[in-house]
Amino acid sequence: AAKDLGKNRYAFYKKELTDKAEYRFKIEQYLREAIENQQLSLVYQPKVDIQTGSIIGVEALSRWHHPVLGQVSPVDFIAMAEQIGMIKPLTEWVLKTACNQANLWKEAGFSSLIMAVNISPSHFLDSDLVPLITRVIKETGILPGELELEVTEGVIQTNPENLAVFEHLKQLGVLLSIDDFGVGYSSFASLKHLNVDYLKIDKYFIDDILLDHKAKLLVSSMIEMGHNLEHKITAEGIESKEQYIMLKGLGCDYAQGYFFSKPVSANDVSILLENQ
């Protein structure tokens, strides 16, 4: 009987796995269609100059709303897009949409805003990235100095090929930033080798900057070190006025977080820009 039970359990387990695989396959199919039919959308989260409080740019963030699945987190669908080989068309769509939006804001008179786009690690290391960025600049007419690429440090290995990608991008004149700085394993190695414009200190450190003296010391040290290496520092995930005041006091350059604005539609950004 025990054997039968085991067998049944196995059968059950196997069926569950198959269902999961089928479910997954379906979601992948939905995502493929969404990318092909451009059913994704972008929201934009303002970045402010911490000393003046004025908006200096925005970060484009992808959103996928599926009629049946509902809102899917970009953390999930970006990873899935990488797995099913759809990250390149996705990134291209994000870049073009974001740059076109940047042009619209410029035409509306909001000049010299910086448009930041996240580039997923695997795509960053792909030889296709530099030609893609070159093409996007040419096709959309965005000034290279108004386009910022955010990449997480975790994958930045300091092998010559990866460093060459950074150098080529710098030669194009785009701005580069290390996203989620401080939580990856190669923070210091990447700083030694990479010529980036911004470090974005991860929300992890900002979260308890008021409560934990060590967190405050770490942030303060990161700001000082970053400045010594001639990087500008952005704090991400600021949710309260007290955090903002503390970071301002620590000499941080830029800030981003729900305290200033959540990621919002292009229209809502226009309203924020008009009101400042």
**Residue numbers of the site for ligand C2E (CB under 6 A)?**
45, 61-62, 73-75, 78, 94, 118-120, 150, 179-180, 237-239, 256-258, 263
C-alpha–C-alpha distance, residues 5 and 210, integer Å: 55
Nearer to ligand C2E, 73 or 157 (CB): 73
C-alpha–C-alpha distance, residues 173 and 188, integer Å: 24
Binding flag, residue 253, Mg ion (CB under 5 A): no
Shortest distance (Å) from residue 88 CB to Mg ion: 19
Among 201, 203, 242, 239, residue whose Cα is nearest residue 222: 201
Which one of ligand C2E, Mg ion, none interacts with residue 68, CB within 5 to 8 A by kind?
none
Shortest distance (Å) from residue 203 CB to ligand C2E: 6
Q: x/- contact string, 221-250, with Mg ion (CB under 5 A)? A: ---------------x--------------
Nearer to ligand C2E, 75 or 211 (CB): 75
Which one of ligand C2E, Mg ion, none interacts with residue 31, CB within 5 to 8 A by kind?
none
Identify whether the C-beta of residue 196 lies closer than 8 Å to the C-beta of residue 177: yes
**Residue 217 to residues 220, 252, 272: CA-CA distances in angstroms?**
5, 13, 33
Selected from 45, 62, 97, 118, the binder of Mg ion by CB under 5 A is: 118
Q: Which helix (H) or strand (E) is 121 found in, with range?
A: helix 121-124
Shortest distance (Å) from residue 258 CB to ligand C2E: 4
Nearer to Mg ion, 30 or 95 (CB): 95
Nearer to ligand C2E, 94 or 175 (CB): 94
Selected from 146, 153, 180, 253, the binder of Mg ion by CB under 5 A is: 180
Nearer to ligand C2E, 10 or 258 (CB): 258
C-alpha–C-alpha distance, residues 80 and 195, integer Å: 30
Nearer to Mg ion, 21 or 79 (CB): 79
Q: Which helix (H) or strand (E) is 166 found in, with range?
A: helix 160-172
**Residue 85 to residues 35, 73, 197: CA-CA distances in angstroms?**
11, 18, 30
* Terminal alpha carbon distance of the chain: 74
DSSP state of 40: E
Nearer to ligand C2E, 93 or 110 (CB): 93
Q: In terms of DSSP bridges, do strands 40-49 and 55-66 run parallel, antiparallel, or are they unpaired?
A: antiparallel
Which one of Mg ion, ligand C2E, none interacts with residue 190, CB within 5 to 8 A by kind?
none
Helix (H, G, I), strand (E, B) or coil at 2: helix
Shortest distance (Å) from residue 221 CB to Mg ion: 19
Structure-token pair, residue 133: 């960025």
Binding site for Mg ion (CB under 5 A): 118, 150, 179-180, 236
